[in-house]
């Protein structure tokens, strides 16, 4: 079953608001490492988790799941006592964990490869203890006085460009996504303008994002 663009936007809006609450608690952290430059598929994920106080004995895993709650781990890394991690390689995602975006895009949005499939249902960076217990997840996020930004990792089985503009619940959404075959990092940027918001989904690299841990 595919995922509609509007359903995806609703999920992103909820996540972005929650990320703002997390990042607002700490804005004195350093710039994280980022292996993606927007020019192609990424092969590793690394960084420093802000205000990490859990200590040693923890790991982070890039997990893809399905609606049936089946799990595929695309990469993992230990987390140092200071919050550093490095997932040095990322695995290709099996077809059973991929789905297409429904072809009935909102008016004004097009995809140049309707056969492309993505890890849209869920691609999370989960944190586990040494007993294998899921403690929460990492978010790659940033904000300033007007913009809330979240980096999102997604796998695509082929190249695909999704572009256009549409309106979701009164919010203007601009889409400019250029997916490569493999793992991609794209950005959801929510801009506040008075009592209204605009969202921009883009593959263009954004600076200033940091890693945050959100426990269950």
Angle at 158 between CA 157 and CA 162, to 5 degrees: 110
Give the count of domains, the chain: 1
Q: What is the pLDDT of residue 49?
A: 96
Q: What is the pLDDT of residue 105?
A: 66
For residue range 183-197, what is the model confidence (pLDDT) as tens digits?
999 999 999 877 788
Domain enclosing residue 174, as ranges = 5-215
Q: Chain-wide mean pLDDT for the chain? A: 81
For residue range 11-31, what is the model confidence (pLDDT) as tens digits?
555 444 443 333 333 433 333
pLDDT band at 34 (very low <50, low <70, confident <90, very high): very low
For residues 84 and 170, the model is more confident at 84
């Amino acid at each position: 079953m595919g995922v509609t663009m509007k359903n995806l936007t609703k999920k992103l809006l909820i996540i972005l608001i929650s990320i703002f609450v997390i990042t607002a608690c700490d804005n004195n952290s350093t710039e994280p490492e980022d292996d993606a430059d927007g020019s192609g598929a990424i092969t590793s994920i690394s960084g420093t988790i802000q205000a990490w106080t859990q200590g040693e004995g923890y790991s982070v895993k890039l997990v893809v799941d399905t609606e049936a709650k089946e799990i595929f781990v695309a990469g993992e890394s230990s987390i140092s006592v200071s919050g550093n991690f490095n997932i040095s390689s990322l695995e290709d995602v099996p077809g059973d964990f991929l789905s297409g975006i429904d072809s009935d895009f909102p008016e004004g949005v097009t995809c140049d490869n309707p056969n492309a499939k993505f890890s849209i249902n869920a691609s999370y960076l989960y944190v586990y203890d040494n007993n294998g217990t899921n403690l929460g997840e990492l978010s790659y996020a940033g904000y300033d006085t007007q913009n809330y930004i979240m980096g999102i990792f997604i796998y695509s089985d082929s190249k695909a460009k999704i572009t256009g503009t549409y309106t979701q619940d009164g919010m203007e959404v601009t889409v400019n996504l250029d997916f490569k075959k493999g793992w991609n990092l794209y950005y959801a940027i929510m801009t506040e303008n008075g009592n209204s918001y605009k969202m921009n989904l883009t593959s263009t690299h954004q600076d200033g994002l940091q890693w945050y841990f959100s426990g269950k």
